[in-house]
Copies of this chain bind each other. A is one copy, B any other.
Amino acid sequence: MAIVVENECVQDNMYSLSVEYSGSCKMGQFFMLRCWDFDPLLSRPISIYDFRDGIVKFLYQVMGKGTEKLSKLKAQDVITLQGPYGNGFPYLDEEDITLVGGGMGIAPLHYAAKELYRINPNRHIEIYLGVREENPIIKQFKDEFPNVKVNIGGIITEDIEYKKDHVILTCGPEIMMKIISEEGKNQGITVYTSVEKRMACGVGACLGCTCKTTKGNKRACKDGPVFLGEEILYE
């Protein structure tokens, strides 16, 4: 049981939800959220968009029943947060980083950029964001971080400059992550991808979120959601 601090519509059907949370969490992790009894039955996995001063922030898009119900939350309402779950992005100390986000995949990259700068303010980070239309979140990225490149309505993978000394972290549509993983492999660049799968338990107990990898089946919720791009066997 946690308390909603704010739940505001960012644009159209995209919402930003802030919730009181006294624990700790890592970039690239997610929570399972619910604010209903049995309808829908399962909780909904949502990535950490931001975390500070005891408040965790999510950015989500209304897709169906679950996110629709989340969107109705008001300040002071009660919500259930299960988590944080998942391995998260690797806390790389030294490396320069390229972040590539597509669609709602930009959400976890916000906290990732923040954390990566926090542990090493002097590194170089390039941020590529591919979205269907201009939105206030893009502005937020630009205000907070340097080197933000945005592609509106186009194909973000065509914009990326693959830098040999960078590590790439990416989250977004499967096809995007697949292309980046392949290109990274060709160029000898390490790519980490954050995969999205339907989830029931979030803790590795149900095997509903299995992901095929070169090292056998992995659980997206527990062994992931972040995997080395080259390990994922895309469908």
Give A contacts to B, CB under 8 Å. Answer: 37-39
At the interface, is chain A mostly helix, strand, loop or mixed? loop
Residues of B within 8 A of A39 (CB): 37-39
Residue of B nearest to A69 (CB): B37
Give the docked Cα–Cα distance between A39 and B36 (Å). Answer: 10
Give the docked Cα–Cα distance between A38 and B65 (Å). Answer: 12
A65 to chain B, nearest CB (A): 8
Give the docked Cα–Cα distance between A39 and B39 (Å). Answer: 7
Give the docked Cα–Cα distance between A83 and B4 (Å). Answer: 37
Residues of B within 8 A of A37 (CB): 39
Give the docked Cα–Cα distance between A94 and B38 (Å). Answer: 53
A43 to chain B, nearest CB (A): 16
Residues of B within 8 A of A38 (CB): 39
Give the docked Cα–Cα distance between A158 and B52 (Å). Answer: 66
Give the docked Cα–Cα distance between A38 and B38 (Å). Answer: 9
